[in-house]
Structure 1
Amino acid sequence: MTVTLTVADSPTGLTDDGAMDAPSGPRADRPRRRSFTAQYKLAMVAEYDGLPAGEKGALLRREGLYSSHIIEWRRARDAGTLTGPPVQATLAARRGKSAEQSEIERLRRQNERLAADLARNKAALEIMGKTHAFLQLLSENADNDPKSSS
């Protein structure tokens, strides 16, 4: 079953972008999180704010939204964060780094984490090798020791 949300009745002039692609794989039966464009959010906040009190709930039901969506989007609009660059680019710019520098830093952290994992695995293999040699020595000594039959 495919569910499509439409905004054809919306006076904001937004159009329906069609059905979502059907997911496949082991989690196909789980619901997918919806994402909204900044344009859609701004249009919904403007439409919601322009409606009289009795019709606001109808808009939310028609669009499948909650009042918390509108509150959150209004706060983002008022803060000026609703129509900006992607979050990663914003964080990198705030730190004074380019996208390439951020990627290099991310890869360096990943490399350090993998190097630590490798060192831990090498230590575990060394311990297992020493344990194997010790058990083999014990086994040989047990075979060579004459048993006293008292």
Structure 2
Amino acid sequence: MTMTLADQTAMTGQDGRVTSQQPEQPKRRTFTKACKARIPAAFDALPEGSAERGALLRRERLYHSHIEHWRKQAETGTLAASTGKPVKSAEAEELARLRAENKKLKAANDKLVGELGKTRTALDIAGKAFALLQDISSSADSEKK
């Protein structure tokens, strides 16, 4: 393995000893909502197919896909202040909560319907057993007389 001078410098401490620490990972950039609105507007103001558009993207260190993504977010109203997943609205969160609750209630209802069926069957059997015992008892009483 070959090491460059920059690698060796990064691995040595102030006293010249070699350390095993890795350099810190770069942080992901975040963009404000205003920046996400300003850059596509500046991009659209430039003539289509011009070199200035490419220069703007290079200067801001962006890709054309960033501009397209931000436009789509602005159209749908999900343009967040930083990159990443769009923020769910309060209505969407409430709907998700209600769907989860509905799913739980349907499962509980299905369980109770099954138990009710078993209870009805047991009561039907108990009723028939009671009727049979009454018939046996009445026939035994009639034989004694």
Q: Same fold (TM over 0.5)?
A: no
Q: What range describes the TM-score normalised by the shorter chain of this pair?
A: 0.3 to 0.5
TM-score under structure 1 length normalisation: 0.40
Say which structure, 1 or 2, has more relative contact order (CA 8 Å, 6+ apart). Answer: 2
- Answer 1 or 2: which has greater helix percent: 2
TM-score under structure 2 length normalisation: 0.41
